[in-house]
Structure 1
Amino acid sequence: MQPPPTMKDMPLRPAIQALSVFFLALAALPARGEYLASCPLPPESFWPKLRTLPPEVIEIEADYVEAIRSEHIHARGDVRLFTEGRRLDADLIDVFVPSQTVETQGHTRLFDGDLLVEAEAGRYRLEEDVGEFSDLDYWLRSRRARGSAEQAAQDGPGRIRLTSGSFTTCPEGDDSWLLTADRIRLDQDSGRGHGYDVTLRFKDTPIFYTPYINFPIDDRRQSGFLTPSLGYSSNNGLDVSVPWYWNIAPNYDATIAPRILSERGLMLESEWRYLRPSMDGILDLSYLPSDRLAEDEDRHMVRWRHRSSIRPGLTLRIDATDVSDQSYFQDFGTDVFTSSTPVVERRAELLYSQPNWRLTGRVQDFQSLDPTLPAASEPYRRLPQLLLQAGAGLKSGMFWDLRSELVRFDRRASLTGIRFDVEPEIGFRQDGGGYFVESRLSLRHTRYALDEAVPEAGRNLTRTLPRATFDAGLIFERGLDDGALQTLEPRIFYGYVPFRDQDDIPRFDTGEREFSFDSLFTTQRFIGADRVGDTHQLTTAVTSRVIDPNTGTERFNASAGQITYLDDRRVRLRPTDPPRRENRSELAAEGQARFSTSWQGRASLIFDTDRDRAPLAAVAVSYNPNKRALLNLGYRLREDEIEQTDISGFWPLNDRLRAIGRWNYSLRDSRNLELLAGLEYRSCCYGVQVALRRHLTDFDGEYNNSIFFQLTLDGLTRFDTGLDNLLREGISGYGTYEER
């Protein structure tokens, strides 16, 4: 055995790179999903060891190495060739220097740290980038993928042919799914691959075949069909969508999806995207002519989202939606939120931002989707609205803020007009190691110019009100026996706003703020400028936390507080409402706790101490013993409106099968709001999910029944009917605890 030589400047690197490029198309496939711990993986010893070498250095180890007149290098007997980041093993290697040809014989293995290729023999001409290798098996370490080919040939730079190729992410000996092709051509210059007689088999059953397919092999966007979707619901019947992606230009593209609804007809959905150096946007278009379930009415949806930078600091944003009818999202919405949307918005705004101030110009319109909402109760249009916000802090602890608005309100068959609102504010804040103090003083002036006179008030109305607040808190700390840190944080808040009669002022966009724990530390009882609530109040509250000193995370926190009113509150939302004469507010409390690594909970409560009842409550508990199991228990109460329980989660039945579900029940109405039940099977290389859903539609009180199905072939594609999004939205924590 001769000593292993170290050779520089030998023309072998292109040959090694040529073998790697055979499988660039497979390396560009999407990452695999969940992988079970029980699934077999190649042992570490399966992957050859690499060496760290300087660039352009090649090392050859073999039982015998011979250089013949500097024209022919011959190595045989356990040949191991190392370059930077690559290794080539073979029984025999010949390098013919004049013809720039490399030949391997016997068992050949190539490894680049991720791709391992085994072949029987190969021949490669370096200058022409032409060569052939036969009887290939390959493994992709990062994708847990493998496959084979009878022959791989390179016909020139970046042009590769594969014969009888296959691909799967299943472990050795398991071909649960397998993609095969009679011939494959790869062209790196165009970034495209071409497959002929392509078959996808699942459990030895062909589920997809095409005589020809064109697919990308790099990150360049290419036109072509995307994965179709299939579903069923009682609203639409069989629902099939086949999307096609159109790469119009490097900065323009579109997805066009014909959608067949067996009960309604043929629908065309599309998404158009554009991207420029100073702007970007998305245009969504959907059209269903002659809906058979809607008396042959045409149905459509248009949504335009646009953003552009006109100049530094100046931005234009547009978000506008229009639908053909009030039932559009109810019939075609894909989740609970979109199917129950009461209004859609059309908004365009121009923003000019500087370090200490921002000016916003906006026009805003709404389309009502609630058939029970009268025209006089629809939201007002803002045509237009101007907002100016400014503020700055000083080193002394002083700060100032300015909030102002000029807006015109418009609505059919309603009182309309212009409102001007401005509120300058000054304040002071100081934070110490165990305390903080903050005080604010502001003056709010509002003026109305109405199109029609208000009886006994006229068309021009004004209101000016001062506001003063003081906020302070202390932080006490102590150590617990287990090393944790506990805090006790008492806090007081004082606020004063005098009374002004506002019964003559119209209500354009103002509503009553829902009382919560945060309401304890504000004087604003209303959202909007049409009402400024009078108050003379003192809030006392306390917070306690338990903090892990090692991680800084909170194991537990709880807060509670109550407002004491020193005067009656005479300003109400409507003139007919009686004044509030209570001398104290409801008790507001909230908290969350991590009882252990598996148990955690959170709760919020509004408790009326005068009536000894809770008008508002929400409690949620989660049990997460491991990554594949989660159970959520929830309860929500809003007095005289809702009282619901919500149970959701997923639970393993064995190592590969788990149940998924959600049960949302209305105790107030004694009926189910949503039932979702399904099974999820996870193997080493694929996943199957099936779920049945029954949910209540908001406007007509009818139920919609749906069937969802999803098949995931790891590393290749996913056949989905929207089930994944439905589970992520309906089951809190779904997708967070997936095993990777």
Structure 2
Amino acid sequence: MRYQLAVACCCLPFAAWSQEGQVLVPDTQCTITLPVPMMVDPNATTDEQASSAPVTVRADSSQAIAGVSAKFQGDVKLRQGNRAINADNAEVLQLEQRVLANGDLVYQDPQVTITAEDLTADTDKYNATLSQAKYWLHGQQVHGDAKKLQITDDNNIVLQGGSFTTCPAEVPDWELKADKIIIDSNEEWGEIYSAQVRLFDTPVFYVPYMTVPVSDKRKTGFLFPSFSTSTKNGVDVKAPFYWNIAPNFDMTITPQVMSSRGVWLATEGRYLTEQHAGMVNLEYIGNDRLSSLTGSPDRYAYSWEHSSRLDNGWRLHADYATISDDNYFNDFDSAISASTDNQLSRVGEASYFQENWNLGIKVQDIKVLGDDQDPFQVMPQLSYQYRMPAFYQGLDFNFDTELTNFTHQDNSQLSAIRWHMEPTLTLPYQTPAGSLTTEMKLMQTFYQQDVPSNNSEPLYDDLDQFVSRTLPQFRVHGQANFERQLTFSGSPYRQTLEPQAQYLFIPHQDQSDIGVYDTAQLQDDYNGLFRDRRFSGLDRIADANQLTLGVATRFFDDNNQEKMRFALGQIFYLSDSEVSLPNESNQIQQSSSALAMELDMQAAEHWFLAGSLQLDTNAGTTNKSEVTLDYRPGNNKLVQFSHRYVPELAIDEETGEFIDINQFGFRTTWPIAKDTYFVGNYYYDGNLNRTVESYAGVQWESCCWAVRLTYDRHLNTNYSDSGFTTISQRDDYDTSWSLTFELKGLGSSGPLGVSDMLDEGLFNYRRPYYLKN
């Protein structure tokens, strides 16, 4: 069981400045009201022009010595360029180029509004000093007070004995008091010395030096630390450091000390240019004292993502990740991946695009966690595609080819070179009422296979070194579009009816002399019924003599918003399909495929229903089903019920038999009081009669701070004992409590919110239908 206390904070983006003198915060509708309306025009003059502008004064009465000084009493209004001063009394010392003011004093410029007891301003150097001041920054939810406030000639603000808060109330829920605060107006960042953070006027901790944002600009410095304790990791202290290397380069370095494990270091670097973008992550812990590895306890993870879009038509992409052991993601909160991910992809691609053709080169390696058998590596693959639309009598011509070299890290496994060519002639005919597409392909594939002499796999005995496979394909696909107007429950609707049919023919050819390098069976959902392939990849091209029939209907309201979609389809086999994968009984010796159905609808004003079903009409069994029901009456109000069933998806670790996935789910978020929300998830395995995950969280949020308490209990994933497709009967759970506290305006990686709580846990929230209320 883990108990965690985390302290976090965030900066707010620029808020909108209104004419009524209020700062509006869009997300929370909080307001900060100024003591007076805006008195200056921010666009009137620049600061340089304002310093040389004349001082104009209005007052009830005045006394003046020409060219020397002038005193003003009663409702005094002084203005110089884009700054203004209101006071009961003021004195302008022309020889000294100073202004003195006191009594109900208000100072304003485009950056700040200040009230104070008195003011001394230098009209030449354009600076000012105010005592017993209160300030409000324009455009940000920042205000505070100071014993002494200075406005420097470069428009920075220096507070002596001052405070800083983003709470709108006169008595803030939290504030930061410091001996000295320097707010840089250009960098929009604050330096704070000898700071004391107070909650409800109670000091909670002391920081000798810190920097905070007053806008969304980035700056080098430590982010707010987090502290936690757990029975698994012991005392846990994390102190992220943000390095703003350049406007388009930055890095976050996060040392994390865990008393039970050691020191875990995580770094994340980002870069962005006009043509390139990428991210590098590196995580490492030396001598993990809780490591279950039999080898080295040094554990690490590394990833690199990169993309380039060059002006001459080239596109580059790289995605590489590696970890020290299969259970790394289960033990650490890694930014690279999550505990539910069971594979790492390593891909490098370079592509060149022109108007009618493109070519590419790719290398790929996939690491499967907890699996004894890794997939084949693509080292490399060369591809070329050519397109010539309407080249003769409305015919389209396409030519695709690829040359792939398959290798394996295990020297006892196969290796092969595959060359595939696929010229295609297509005759499309499309009108608003429907479409008819006739297509002919010729698929020619050559293999050169190398079977190691030390391999004892009996499946490899039938493989040939050289294989040539030639298969033609003929496909006709047609669709019609009908629509009508109707009335339901007194409301007008437009209904469409979209029947479609496809005939597909591919002759049979024995392919048992070809190894399986990148091929697997595809799912038969509704859209999949109209594919021309039963397998992914090219190592198996299934013979086909089949007719696919499907129909979809949709309902639109009078605003042309789709309210319901229902689709139903099935494949009818005119002859058996004999091609299959090795050791799998996926030949087709039946009259029809599973009946595939899909439904998406807004059932009522706030109710949304989505479901899919694949029904084996020959055996009378269900191949797969999934259904979700949402009730969403407003923002941050949700109740969702779900059920998922997949037969024989995994293997029982004890019996070795296939078992079904029969899972029930419940998810909700709901306001339980003002500014207080509850989020809960619960998932139950009906086949093994056990809970998969329980999650509950309560969050209270105001304009300037938030607190969240969460509870999570879920089944642990462990790849050391078995493969990913094996399910253990033992109840091995991880239970944790987490308390997160956020002060808005003190700079962190991101604010708390109800929406991100919905993404917590093993299962993310998915809306069953995209329509809004």
Give the TM-score taking structure 2 as reference length: 0.82
Q: Which residues of structure 1 form unaligned runs of 5+?
A: 1-24
Distance 1:631 1:165 in 2: 47
CA distance in 1, matches of 2:237, 2:613: 45
Aligned residue-pair number: 705
The answer on whether the counterparts of 1:710 and 1:719 sit within 8 Å (CA) in structure 2 is: no
Residue in structure 1 matching 2:260, options 260, 263, 279: 263
Residue 713 of structure 1 is matched in structure 2 by 743
Work out the CA distance in 2 between the residues paired with 1:229 and 1:120. 40
Tell me how far 1:518 sits from its aligned partner.
0.8
The question of 1:694 aligning with 2:713 is answered yes
Deviates more, 1:330-339 or 1:503-512: 330-339
Q: 596, 608, 614: which one pairs with 2:622?
A: 614
Letter of the 2:201 counterpart: D
Asked if 1 retains the 8 angstrom alpha-carbon contact of 2:595 and 2:617, the reply is yes
Q: In the alignment, is residue 427 of structure 1 matched against residue 426 of structure 2? A: yes
Offset from partner CA, 1:581-621 (integer Å, 9 cap, x none): 21111111112112344211211111122233321111111
Change (3 A) 1:616 1:593: same
Q: What is residue 508 of structure 2 aligned with on the other side?
A: 499
Match of 2:551 in 1: 542
Residue in structure 1 matched with residue 315 of structure 2 by the alignment: 315
The alignment status of 1:152 with 2:149, answered yes or no, reads yes
Residue of structure 1 in register with 2:690 after alignment? 671
* Deviation readout 1:198-232 (Å, 9 max, x if unpaired): 11112333333112234566776432111223445
Task: Pick which of 289-298 and 563-572 moved more.
Answer: 289-298
8 Å contact 2:213–2:746 — kept in the other structure? no
1:13 matched to which residue of 2? none
Measured in 2, the distance between the counterparts of 1:215 and 1:53 equals 27
Deviation, 1:168, is 2.0
**Contact 1:130-1:153 within 8 A present in 2 as well:** yes
SS at match of 1:330: helix
Shift of 1:170: 2.4
1:662 to 681, 691, 706: 681
CA distance in 2, matches of 1:389, 1:134: 74
Displacement of 1:647 in angstroms is 1.0
- 1:24-63 deviations in Å (ceiling 9; x for gaps): x9998899988667x7x46799644777997689987654
Equivalent residue runs for 1:89-168 within 5 Å:
89-97=86-94, 99-111=96-108, 115-140=112-137, 142-168=139-165
Instruction: Give the equivalent residue in structure 2 for 1:11.
Output: none
Contact 2:641 2:665 in 1 (8 A): yes
Contact 1:664 1:672 survives alignment (8 Å): yes
Of 264-273 and 600-609, the range deviating more from structure 2 = 264-273
Distance in 2, Cα, partners of 1:218 & 1:44: 19
1:407 CA displacement? 0.9
| SS across alignment from 1:519 | helix
- The 8 Å contact of residues 140 and 215 in structure 2, kept in 1 or not, is answered as no
Counterpart residue number, 1:475: 481
Contact 2:413 2:451 survives alignment (8 Å): no
Say which SS state the counterpart of residue 689 (structure 1) adopts: strand
Measured in 2, the distance between the counterparts of 1:234 and 1:228 equals 20
Secondary structure of the 2:527 match is helix
Task: State the alpha-carbon separation in 2 of the partners of residues 66 and 51 from structure 1.
Answer: 29
Matched ranges for 1:369-388 at <5 A: 369-370=369-370, 373-374=371-372, 377-388=373-384
Report the AA paired with residue 101 of structure 1: R
Q: How does 1:387-402 map to 2 (within 5 A)?
A: 387-394=383-390, 398-402=395-399
Name the CA shift for 1:232/1:593 in 2 (closer, same or farther; >3 Å): farther
The alpha-carbon distance between structure 1 residues 506 and 89, as it changes in their structure 2 partners (threshold 3 A), is same
Q: Which moved more, 1:391-400 or 1:380-389?
A: 391-400
Q: Return closer, same or farther for 1:524/1:129 CA change in 2, 3 Å cut-off.
A: same
Q: Which amino acid aligns with 2:526?
A: F
Change (3 A) 1:334 1:274: closer
- Tell me the equivalent position of 2:284: 287
**1:516 aligned partner, one-letter code:** D
Q: Residue in 2 aligned with 1:8?
A: none
Q: In structure 2, do the counterparts of structure 1 residues 393 and 663 end up closer, same or farther at CA, with 3 Å as the change threshold?
A: same
Structure 1 position 104, deviation (Å): 3.0
- Residue matched to 2:236: 239
Q: 1:426 to 1:251 in 2, by over 3 A?
A: same
8 A Cα contact 1:492 1:538, kept in partner: yes
Match in the other structure for 1:443: 442
For 2:192 and 2:552, locate their aligned partners in 1 and report how far apart those are by CA, in whole Å: 65
In structure 2, the residue matched to 1:16 is none
Q: Aligned partners of 2:281, 2:335: CA distance in 1, in Å? A: 17
- Shift of the alpha carbon at 1:273? 3.4
In structure 2, relative to structure 1, the CA distance for the partners of 1:274 and 1:658 (3 Å cut) is closer
Query: What residue number does 2:699 align with?
Result: 680
- C-alpha change, 1:658 and 1:731, in structure 2 (3 Å) is farther
The offset of 1:72, in angstroms, is 6.0
Gaps of 5+ in 2: 1-9, 17-23, 453-459, 650-660, 722-727
Find the residue that maps to 1:480 and give its secondary structure: strand
CA distance in 1, matches of 2:172, 2:320: 49
Q: Which moved more, 1:204-213 or 1:49-58?
A: 49-58
- Please give the secondary structure, in 1, of the residue aligned with 2:759: helix
Q: Partner residue of 2:610?
A: 602
CA root-mean-square deviation: 3.6
Moved more, 631-640 or 693-702: 693-702
The answer on 1:628 being equivalent to 2:658 is: no
- Per the normalisation by structure 1, the TM-score is 0.86
State which drifts further: 480-489 or 191-200: 191-200
- Alpha-carbon contact 1:29-1:715 (below 8 Å) kept: no
Q: Deviations over 1:459-514 (max 9, x none)?
A: 11011111122222222222233232221222222222111111111101100001
Paired residues of 1:711 and 1:719 also in contact (CA < 8 A): no
Question: What amino acid does structure 2 have at the position aligned with 1:713?
Answer: L
SS at match of 1:421: strand
Letter in 2 for 1:391: R
- The equivalent of 1:253 in structure 2 is 250
For residues 84 and 470 of structure 1, the distance between their equivalents in structure 2, rounded to whole angstroms, comes to: 76
Q: Distance in 2 between matches of 1:312 and 1:262?
A: 53
Please identify, of 323-332 and 170-179, the stretch whose mean Cα deviation from structure 2 is larger: 170-179
Q: State the Cα deviation string for residues 642-685 of structure 1 (Å, max 9, x = none).
A: 11112112122222332211111111221111111121122343
State the Cα distance separating 1:79 from its structure 2 match: 4.0
Partner residue, 2:355? 355
What residue number does 2:733 align with?
703
Distance apart, 1:174 and its partner CA: 3.6
Deviation at 1:192, TM superposition (A): 6.0
CA distance in 2, matches of 1:706, 1:614: 37
- On the 8 A contact 2:742/2:752 being kept in 1, the answer is no
What is the letter of the counterpart of residue 633 of structure 2?
P
Q: How does 1:69-108 map to 2 (within 5 A)?
A: 76-80=73-77, 88-97=85-94, 99-108=96-105
Q: CA deviation at 1:126?
A: 2.6
| 8 Å Cα contact 1:232-1:238 kept in structure 2 | yes
The answer to whether the 8 A contact 1:483-1:549 is kept is: yes
Instruction: Give the deviation of 1:70 after TM superposition.
Output: 7.2
3-state DSSP of counterpart to 1:520: helix
8 Å CA contact 1:27–1:140 kept in 2: the answer is no
Please report how far the alpha carbon of residue 84 of structure 1 lies from its aligned counterpart in structure 2 after TM superposition.
8.5
Structure 2 residue matching 1:568: 3-state secondary structure: coil
Amino acid at match of 2:381: Q
1:397: Cα distance to partner? 5.2
Task: Judge conservation of contact 1:489–1:544 (CA < 8 Å) in 2.
Answer: yes
Task: Please name the residue that 2:654 is paired with.
Answer: none
Query: Matches of 2:461 and 2:43 in 1, distance apart?
Result: 91
Q: Is the 1:108–1:119 contact (alpha carbons within 8 Å) kept by the matching residues of 2?
A: yes
Q: Please say if residues 228 and 719 of structure 1, whose CA atoms lie closer than 8 Å, have aligned partners that are also in contact.
A: no
* Secondary structure of the structure 2 residue equivalent to 1:325: coil
Deviation at 1:696, TM superposition (A): 1.1
Query: In terms of mean alpha carbon deviation, does 175-184 or 204-213 score higher?
Result: 204-213
Out of 705, 728, 732, the position equivalent to 2:759 is: 728
Match of residue 10 from structure 1: none
